[in-house]
Structure 1
Amino acid sequence: MIAVHEHITDAVKTPSLIRLSPNVVLVRFETLKVYAALGAVRALLAAGTVRRGQTLVDSSSGIYALALAMACHRYGLRCHIVASTTVDATIRAQLEVLGATVDRMPPSDDLRLDQRRRVARVRELLERHPDMHWMRQYHDPVHYLGYAELADLVREALDPGPLAVVGSVGTGSSTGGLVRALREHDPAVRLVGVQPFGSVTFGSERFVDPDSIIAGIGSAIPFDNVRHDLYDRVHWLDFRHAMSATVALLRDHAVFAGLSTGAADLAAGWESARHPDHTHLVIGADTGHRYTERVFARHREALDPAGLAPVEIEALDELTPPWSVMDWRRRAYGALVPAQLRRKHRVP
């Protein structure tokens, strides 16, 4: 039965499940972050932490900004976004029409600098406007809550049996929130995280990948919402491998998805061959529109994923581009990272 939705957010958050191979299923979204934004806003309103008419502020590299603006539109809140240099004109125009005010950071190829500038700008806004509420999508666990609804949909749609969730780590909320809810029913559910080289989240910041798009996959600054002890395995991929897999997803399955989806699908292909008894659920966080120039226009440069394989490592000092994989075994960050790196792993 086709539902008539009361607001666009209910339609946008509804995923499509697509079988890519006998034991790999893609859960594809127009924008996954609607679950995080709706869940957070509802919880904050119910607790009296925010009220209708108040302004919610946060920084974003793109899809969370749009999700938060839509949630504010639904619940009568104002929205202010400190936008990454990676936010394109299409998203910015949507934000402005939805009534959000937008601060855009100056152009920069240094995403670490971009993220730090955004945090500084948010702090400046809060000093000037103390009534604003900082959503802190990178640090406030309230963003986990909305994914319990997605977990229920997954459990209903998939056949019973061993399950592995494969997705980009990013802020930590989507993979962490989904698997935490799934493990309430089955503690054996595996979680496989995907990272780019250059991300601080799982200790690869010493690498530089000039083409890497950190936004949505890794981070140049530490995020409290990343619960390292939830992850069973971690894959690190360079830009060309992620790009090649994203192009292959469109070529082989007609799925037009973002870079993080392609990266997760490549990791899932390797995992599924080693765990054929598991269903591997690939998180497809967004569509491919904002990657047209950086990824799809370069499709002739794409490698054949069938010929790609990772280096299996046992310690972070063995990390080797362009693709490494390691058993994380649900351990805390400090258990695997040398002390000198742990000292850097602090929220600014």
Structure 2
Amino acid sequence: MTPVSTAPAPPVHEHITDALKAPDLIRLGDNVVLARFETLKVYAALGAVRALLERGAVAPGQTLVDSSSGIYALALALACHRYGLGCHIVASTTVDTTMRAQLEILGATVDQMPPSQDLRLDQERRVRRVRQLIADRPDMHWMRQYHDPVHYAGYREFADLVDAALPGAPLTVVGAVGTGSSTGGLVQPLRERGRKVRSVAVQPFGSVTFGSERFSDPEAIIAGIGSSIPFGNVRHDLYDTLHWVDFRHAMAGAVGLLRDHAVFAGLSTGAAHLVAGWEAARHPERPHLVIGADTGHRYTERVFARHREALDPRGLKPHQITSLADLALPWSAMEWGRRRHEVPSAPARQAAAASTTKERTA
């Protein structure tokens, strides 16, 4: 007699986005779990597009446009494919051939910025280009992933998953800030349910989001986790602790994650993995959830092919500070305390930079 399987049947998905959106949960240590995504922002794009269609803010067949350094571009193209919408991406110079080919085959049109070693300039160029497109084509809908809070909506589903997988106990979430919606969109609904959630945020040096704009990290290619412009979707008062991590330390975390756990993930995940290791050792009583936003494919040449150069994560630790005035490369950590923060305007930042340059040359 053939035994009858009692295993639940796997779901048959109606669209690839249903399969992609949920992460794989992988235990990295006694109190560290990685939420490993193929592309994290499928939650944001699906949630935002559904909400906009339901509100009537977007009509079937309309073209959606936004700027992206990579994973949001793919997520938006997939959401548009699912819902029969047009898609136009103003792409960072960091978007590679593999990503661009996927976007174009999915039906998106792509404007890509010219080669640049300055990611601040790249980001500013992209925003200018989007504004020009909207002025020329008012029928397009600008998704404004950096500023429209509709991008928080999709992450409530991620919060449901986390609540079920890691129930009850106080939780620490470790992830790159980026546009703010992925970390904020997870932490906020969990706290609303009464969960005690500590939010540990990761930033690159050179980002205005949490005050490191006076620094330059020449090798930094951590596109998407920091910003040269203020992001309206970043709610500074959601974050408990901040870590600023340079390229070399993020690389150490990414290579270490692959070497020790066979997980091939991007630089933002590498930085979060490094930070989570240090935090988890100091707080062994709390589970730590690391957000792994994407795979490592777009970093193959500039990170993983150089794995022999990678620092040993076990020997690394942050410079612990109490004020932004003490911020220092290559890795700094600070208790943020869920306080508000006013990101200075571009003219104010330029004046401060000119003043600093004058002091250094005096």
TM-score, normalising length from structure 1? 0.96
Paired residue for 2:232, among 208, 215, 224?
A: 224
Q: Is residue 317 from structure 1 mapped to residue 318 from structure 2 by the alignment?
A: no
Q: Distance in 1 between matches of 2:280 and 2:306?
A: 28
Q: Distance in 2 between matches of 1:138 and 1:67?
A: 15
The offset of 1:342, in angstroms, is 10
Which AA in structure 1 matches 2:85? L
Residue of structure 2 equivalent to 1:268: 276
Is the contact made by 1:112 and 1:220 (CA closer than 8 Å) also made in structure 2? yes
The offset of 1:14, in angstroms, is 1.6
Residue of structure 2 equivalent to 1:49: 57
Q: Secondary structure at the match of 1:52?
A: coil
Q: Is residue 158 from structure 1 mapped to residue 163 from structure 2 by the alignment?
A: no
Q: Distance in 2 between matches of 1:74 and 1:176?
A: 26
Q: Is residue 58 from structure 1 mapped to residue 76 from structure 2 by the alignment?
A: no
Q: Is residue 31 from structure 1 mapped to residue 55 from structure 2 by the alignment?
A: no
Residue of structure 2 equivalent to 1:97: 105
The offset of 1:159, in angstroms, is 3.7
Number of residue-to-residue matches in the alignment: 342
1:284-333 deviation line (CA, Å, top 9, x unaligned): 00000001011101101111111101111000010111110000000001
1:217-243 deviation line (CA, Å, top 9, x unaligned): 111111111110000000011100100
Q: Distance in 2 between matches of 1:313 and 1:12?
A: 39
Which AA in structure 2 matches 1:80? H
Residue of structure 2 equivalent to 1:73: 81
Which AA in structure 2 matches 1:292? T
Give runs of ≥4 in structure 1 deviating > 4 Å.
339-343
Is the contact made by 1:201 and 1:222 (CA closer than 8 Å) also made in structure 2? yes
Q: Distance in 1 between matches of 2:345 and 2:236?
A: 18
Q: Distance in 2 between matches of 1:87 and 1:183?
A: 35
Q: Distance in 2 between matches of 1:19 and 1:104?
A: 38
Is the contact made by 1:203 and 1:341 (CA closer than 8 Å) also made in structure 2? no
Is the contact made by 2:222 and 2:247 (CA closer than 8 Å) also made in structure 1? no
Is the contact made by 2:203 and 2:226 (CA closer than 8 Å) also made in structure 1? yes
Is the contact made by 1:214 and 1:220 (CA closer than 8 Å) also made in structure 2? no
The offset of 1:187, in angstroms, is 4.9
Q: Secondary structure at the match of 1:182?
A: helix
Which AA in structure 2 matches 1:14? A
The offset of 1:343, in angstroms, is 4.2
Q: Secondary structure at the match of 1:191?
A: strand
Structure 1, 179-188 or 147-156: larger mean CA deviation = 179-188
**Gapped runs of 5+ residues in structure 2?**
1-7, 351-362
Residue of structure 2 equivalent to 1:258: 266
Residue of structure 2 equivalent to 1:287: 295
Q: Distance in 2 between matches of 1:285 and 1:30?
A: 7
Q: Distance in 2 between matches of 1:227 and 1:187?
A: 19
Residue of structure 2 equivalent to 1:138: 146
Larger Rg: 2
Is the contact made by 2:168 and 2:195 (CA closer than 8 Å) also made in structure 1? no
Q: Is residue 121 from structure 1 mapped to residue 121 from structure 2 by the alignment?
A: no
Change (3 A) 1:120 1:341: closer
Q: Is residue 13 from structure 1 mapped to residue 18 from structure 2 by the alignment?
A: no
Change (3 A) 1:7 1:313: same
1:15-66 deviation line (CA, Å, top 9, x unaligned): 1000000000000000000000000000000000001100000010001000
1:56-105 deviation line (CA, Å, top 9, x unaligned): 00010001000000000000100000011010000100000011000011
**Gapped runs of 5+ residues in structure 1?**
none
Q: Secondary structure at the match of 1:333?
A: coil
TM-score, normalising length from structure 2? 0.92
The aligned runs of 1:158-237 (5 Å cut-off) are: 158-237=166-245
Percent of residue pairs identical: 75
Q: Distance in 1 between matches of 2:347 and 2:47?
A: 31
Q: Distance in 1 between matches of 2:245 and 2:135?
A: 39
1:119-165 deviation line (CA, Å, top 9, x unaligned): 11111111111010000000100000000000000011114201010
Paired residue for 2:257, among 249, 257, 268?
A: 249
